[in-house]
Amino acid sequence: FAAGGEPTRLLFFRQSREVLVDRGSAYEQPNGADAELVMSTGVVEHQKGRVVYFYRAQPAQAVQAASVHTDLSFGVVGPNSLEHMQVTLSQLYMPLLTQAAHRWKPDATSNDARQEFFSTLARSADTIGEAVGTLNSGFMLRRPDKAQDVDSKAAAFSKAAGEPETVLALERVVEEWCSETEALLAFRDTDRQEPDDAGPELEFEYWRNRTSKLNGIADQLKGRDHRVAMSVLGMAKSKVHKRWKGLDAAISDACNEAKDNSRYLSTLDKYLEPLVGGGTPAAVAEALPGLMNAIKMMYTVSRFYNTTERLTGLFGRITNKIISTSKLYLHAGDPSTSLWQLDAHQLVVRLRECIALCKAYREQYWLTKDKLAKQPDGKHFDLPEETIFGKSERFSSRLGQLVDLFTTVGQFRALASHRVEGMAELMSIYDAAVANMISKPYELLDYDKLAFEEDRLSFDASIREVERLLVRFINASFETISSTDASLRVLQQLQAVLDRPLLKDDINSKLVVVFHNYGLDLETVRRMYEKQKGAPPTVRNVPPVTGAITWARQLMRRIEEPMLKFQANSGLMNTKEAKKIVRTYNRIARTVVEFETLWHMAWAKSIEASKAGIAATLLIRHPTDKKLYVNFDREILQLIREAKLLTRIGVAVPEAAMAVMLQEDKLKRYYNELSYSLDQYRAVVAQIPPVLSPLLEPHLKDFERKLHPGMVTLTWTSMNIDGYLHRVHATLFRLGDVVSKAKDLVQARIERNMWAISNMRLVDLPSDASFTLDRFVSLQERFVHEQSAVLSTRLREAEEAVAGLMKLITEYPLEPGIPGPSAEKKEEVRAYFAQLMYRAVLNCTKASLNVMKRRVGSRASGGFLFAERPFINIAVELTIPHVSTTPSLDDVQAAINRCSRAVLGASKQVAVWSSPSGRNRGGTLFDELGKDKEIVRTVLVLTGAVDGVKRRVLEHIEQFSKYEWLWTESKDAAHSSFIARDPSVEDFESELQRYVAVEDDVARIVPVQNVGIISLVMAPLKYSLRAEAAAWKTKYTQNLQVTAKKKLDLLVAWIDDVSLRLKQEIRDLGSVRFAMGVLKEVRDRERTIEQDFSPVEEIYGLLARHDHRMSREEADTVANLSSLWKKLRRQADSVADAMTAQQTRLKSELVRNVKQFAADIAQFRNDWDSNGPDTPGI
């Protein structure tokens, strides 16, 4: 792809290399050749598969690597390229272009050019589709396999002819060729099976396909294998060869016939394009003359297509296509759209166009037939016209019936659109008739459906009933209508059905009556004019001249519009009565026009007087209230409004009024801007705080000097009003800005700070909280310090704001000759704000001291319950030998005095700035506040705040002196005296109850006792008293516990000893005697055990009731004492049971032992006697 070089395209594909055979007559691939990559320009090689192509549109420009995507077009083409192209055109491009057609620019393409473009595109897609179909339906002869082994030489043919096997194989193939070819040649065009509505395109397709098949056979016979087969069979003198030679001529004749017919039929394409492409009936009718001439030429010149049968079939197919195209046109291009869904009037127009097309088709046929008849030597159209035009005649007849049907439907649809009141009944009958027709299952354009005739008769009967009711409705309507306009409106609404024969005469008679009533209306209008011409009624907000002219024109319109409608009926206007009414109309109309002219002329004369207000000055000062007002004459606005409205209704306006009207926007703008400026000026003046009015007097004078030209020199026709307004607006903006800033300084920075200071509290004493003395002092001193800092900050901000205010007012630029505010006025304003500051600090100090006074001097209710919490919490404590408070009441008073001094001390940081010299002298507000009587009185009240409750506090403390014996008497002496009386448990109980009563009395002491501002916290005292009473109790319970412990230890030791002795094993009588003794001891003690246990348990119960502390082991022993005794009893019973169980054994042993003892005694006796001391000789 070099610059200026060839080629413009390159193809790459992979297949076996083709070779040229038989002197360049064909290219074939050698057997067994390997596939290889081929680069070609597409001129010589024949591609059999997929191809990669590269194409450049500008050969003079070299292809660059950076721009290869724009210099080259490339892609892949498959073996089915034509099919792909046909699908792409028909299913991609055509739908997309059709959808986008409505967005094309209107001037880019005309409707005809756009329609021709889409028609050409559709025809191209159809042509490609037909070519694909032709290629796919080609007639293929089977290749003789044996011929591939024979070389294309005479010697090889002779050798193959001598081989029976080869000849037989070739004869079978050629016989198959003959059979297939004979069948193809035997098929005639009259043998085709086509639908009844087949169009001419099927005829064209048939001859193209037949030509393709016959040409395919001829091309295949030129191939190498076919020629080899024929040569071998010819040398073998086969009968099949002779048979094929006979078919060869027939193939040539059939091929020539098909080509000739296709060639002549192709001349009809351009004339059939509107018909085949779905064109309009007008376009089809325009192409009919050319189509008939082409058919005439083909009929007279063609060798094969000049038969009556073929020409009759062609005309029949054209008739079918005209009918199908007309149906598609009537359905608006969408066969699924019902005719009932279309607009009736447009549908009637289309129906008539289709009827005209069928008529033009017949006329063009007859005209062509007459032309042929005038040629004596030529062929004539001797065709069966019934076969050709029978369908079109029936189709035209059906279209005529549909014209009547939809004309009626259109008329009544138009009547229904007026929504005439009272026609519901007759319209329901019409709707039912239409619904009945719509519900029919057949297609209205199907002329073979005879059921349509019966349904149409039923529909006509319903319409006649509707017409009868409509006549009755018209008569009833005109009986109640008295107005000419209303009568004409009814006639206009019925205009859609006025042409129906049943209604036409009745409506004409009603028109005569209406015209007579119109004559009466003219007399009414005349009387109305005579009555109201002196003061014509006008519409609200309409000026008088326009109102009078509008009234006159309304009268004229009232008589003119009906007359114009009556003039359309020439028969009505030629009557004698009509001429009289016309003369009355002309007289009234002339009078009304003269009235309008007189009003217009009078207004034109008054224009100059109304314009005089334009020469007045812009502003004027009222002589009474001395305020400035805009000096604008309202007559000018009325003049402008009259001119505008008269122009709007078409009345000529004089040049003088037009000149004023053209200045309307300017005058209104000047008036609005001046009014706005004065209103803003008044608003600015109203915003000035009274204290600043003396300081801003020069600024107001400066602004009024800017307004002065508008009061003396400038008029509404002056040329420099815009500059004047600009200066006024600029000055007003500057003045408003100063006033706004000054007001903001006064309100937001001075008064707001003063208000905040005045509402500030220097102490924090909430009514629902009490304080300890230390917390009260630290909290209030810290709070006063913080609030003092805030107070100083706000006062400093206010002082800076006053200085900024003075600077802002002083630096305002004034006109030369206008002095600024004087020093005295400035000092007065500064003194005012200083006094405001003093009152704010004074209110703050007073309010803070009053808060303390209310809090300190509050009369809180005594006791535990209270509505307002006391001020200070102090604790009541036992400090032996007295009951006292911590802190003391004197300390409370000192803390209150300290806090009040801190409140007053906050003003020591505030300097007096009533004048510049005040700060230089170092004066503060503390000195000024000290002179205020109310503050002095409040401070004196605070210094004696505690004296009022001091006596009550001491009286309350004195009531606890009855408990002095708890800490004054000796516990040891009292206990010793008690023990000396040898007290019983009841005595101990009585003594301990005495101390329990003391504890109960102490518990009943309220935890907090409010005495005025003091809240006495009794918890420390109660704790001390309970501790003293508990010490007395402990002194007695300890001695009682020692006594009880000794008795308890003895009982437990005896039980343990007995239990241990009972555990000894019973082996003999000695152990029995021992056990019996222990059991006897237990039985003896059982009688007195309760007397032994009761004192111990009673003492320990007394100790437990009085919460005496003892060891856990001791408490468990007391609790288990009864259990130990019961356990001992069970053990004794167990030992007794064991002795009873061994009684027999022990008895036997005892008897044996007794006997043994008796024997031992006898032996001992004998031995005694024999060897005892009494024995002689010892």
Mean pLDDT of the chain: 77
Instruction: Report yes or no: 654 and 602 within 8 Å, Cβ to Cβ.
Output: no
Q: Tell me, what's the pLDDT at 864?
A: 42
Instruction: Report yes or no: 710 and 724 within 8 Å, Cβ to Cβ.
Output: yes
Q: Tell me, what's the pLDDT at 737?
A: 92
Give the rounded percent of residues in the chain with a pLDDT score beyond 70: 84
Instruction: Report yes or no: 422 and 469 within 8 Å, Cβ to Cβ.
Output: no
Neighbour tally for 278: CB within 10 Å = 15
Per DSSP, the residues of 596-633 read: HHHHHHHHHHTHHHHGGGGGSBSEEE-TTT--EEE---
Grouping H, G, I as helix, E, B as strand and the rest as coil, residue 16 is strand
What type of residue sits at position 41? T
Model confidence at 485, pLDDT cuts 50, 70, 90, reads low
**How far is residue 777's CA from residue 763's CA, in Å, rounded to a whole number?**
11
CA dihedral 1072, 1078, 1081, 1082 (to 10 degrees): -110
**How far is residue 33's CA from residue 25's CA, in Å, rounded to a whole number?**
20
1087: exposed, middle or buried (C-beta count within 10 Å: 0-12, 13-18, 19+)? Answer: exposed
Instruction: Report yes or no: 187 and 257 within 8 Å, Cβ to Cβ.
Output: no
Alpha helices in 688-820 (DSSP H): 693-707, 709-712, 721-744, 752-758, 773-810
Q: Tell me, what's the pLDDT at 106?
A: 57
Tally of CA atoms within 13 A in the half-sphere of 822 that contains its CB: 4
Digit-coded pLDDT (tens) for 849-886: 888 888 776 554 444 444 457 767 777 787 777 777 77
Residue count of the chain? 1178
Which of the pair, 20 or 243, is modelled with greater confidence?
Answer: 243
Q: Tell me, what's the pLDDT at 445?
A: 85
Digit-coded pLDDT (tens) for 777-814: 888 888 888 888 888 888 889 888 988 988 888 888 88
Q: Tell me, what's the pLDDT at 19?
A: 46
Digit-coded pLDDT (tens) for 530-565: 888 888 888 787 888 888 888 888 888 777 777 776
Model confidence at 24, pLDDT cuts 50, 70, 90, reads very low
Grouping H, G, I as helix, E, B as strand and the rest as coil, residue 945 is coil
Model confidence at 477, pLDDT cuts 50, 70, 90, reads low
Least Cα distance to 220 among 231, 212, 210 occurs for: 212
Digit-coded pLDDT (tens) for 234-292: 787 887 777 777 777 777 777 888 788 778 778 877 778 777 777 788 888 888 888 88
Mean pLDDT of 719-724: 89
Digit-coded pLDDT (tens) for 648-662: 888 888 877 787 788
Q: Tell me, what's the pLDDT at 919?
A: 45
Mean pLDDT of 1150-1157: 78
Q: Tell me, what's the pLDDT at 505?
A: 58
Grouping H, G, I as helix, E, B as strand and the rest as coil, residue 879 is strand
Q: Tell me, what's the pLDDT at 478?
A: 62
Q: Which two tokens stand for residue 990?
A: 């009585």
Model confidence at 79, pLDDT cuts 50, 70, 90, reads low
Model confidence at 1160, pLDDT cuts 50, 70, 90, reads confident
Digit-coded pLDDT (tens) for 958-1012: 777 777 777 777 777 777 777 777 777 777 777 777 777 777 887 888 888 787 7
In this predicted structure, the answer to whether residue 25 has a pLDDT above a threshold of 60 is no
Identity of the highest mean pLDDT range in 297-306, 387-396, 462-471: 387-396
**How far is residue 378's CA from residue 372's CA, in Å, rounded to a whole number?**
7
Q: Tell me, what's the pLDDT at 920?
A: 40
Q: Which two tokens stand for residue 731?
A: 């000055």
Which of the pair, 231 or 149, is modelled with greater confidence?
Answer: 231
Q: Which two tokens stand for residue 320?
A: 């079918």
CA dihedral 1046, 1047, 1049, 1053 (to 10 degrees): 140
Q: Which two tokens stand for residue 1084?
A: 């003896």
Residue keyed to tokens 């294998």: 225
In this predicted structure, the answer to whether residue 393 has a pLDDT above a threshold of 50 is yes
Per mean pLDDT, which range of 127-136, 578-587, 646-655, 685-694 is the poorest? Answer: 127-136
In this predicted structure, the answer to whether residue 133 has a pLDDT above a threshold of 70 is no
Mean pLDDT of 420-444: 81
Least Cα distance to 887 among 898, 897, 874, 896 occurs for: 874
Q: If residue 474 lies in a helix (H) or strand (E), which one and from where to where?
A: helix 451-480
Per DSSP, the residues of 715-727 read: BTT-S-HHHHHHH
**How far is residue 353's CA from residue 334's CA, in Å, rounded to a whole number?**
18
Which residues, listed in sequence order, are joined to residue 630 by a DSSP beta bridge? 619
Grouping H, G, I as helix, E, B as strand and the rest as coil, residue 867 is coil
Q: Tell me, what's the pLDDT at 310?
A: 80
Mean pLDDT of 78-83: 69
Q: Which two tokens stand for residue 75?
A: 């892609």
Mean pLDDT of 162-166: 78
Mean pLDDT of 1068-1087: 78
In this predicted structure, the answer to whether residue 336 has a pLDDT above a threshold of 80 is yes
**How far is residue 992's CA from residue 983's CA, in Å, rounded to a whole number?**
12
Per mean pLDDT, which range of 27-36, 295-304, 661-670, 913-922 is the poorest? Answer: 913-922
Burial 415-449 (b: 16+ CB within 10 A, else e): beeeebeebeebbeebeebbeebeeeeeebbebee
Digit-coded pLDDT (tens) for 819-838: 888 888 888 888 888 888 88
Q: Tell me, what's the pLDDT at 744?
A: 92
What are the angstrom distances between the C-alpha of 737 and each of 573, 683, 808, 820? 79, 12, 10, 17
Q: Tell me, what's the pLDDT at 1?
A: 62
Q: Which two tokens stand for residue 1050?
A: 């003895």
In this predicted structure, the answer to whether residue 148 has a pLDDT above a threshold of 70 is no
Write phi, then psi, for 61 (nearest 5 degrees).
Answer: -110, 130
Q: Which two tokens stand for residue 1046?
A: 């000794």
Digit-coded pLDDT (tens) for 26-73: 444 555 556 777 777 765 555 667 788 787 877 777 777 777 777 788
**How far is residue 302's CA from residue 300's CA, in Å, rounded to a whole number?**
6
Say which DSSP state 749 is in: I
Model confidence at 488, pLDDT cuts 50, 70, 90, reads low
Q: Which two tokens stand for residue 386?
A: 């019934």
Sign of CA dihedral 248, 249, 252, 253: negative
In this predicted structure, the answer to whether residue 921 has a pLDDT above a threshold of 70 is no
In this predicted structure, the answer to whether residue 344 has a pLDDT above a threshold of 80 is yes
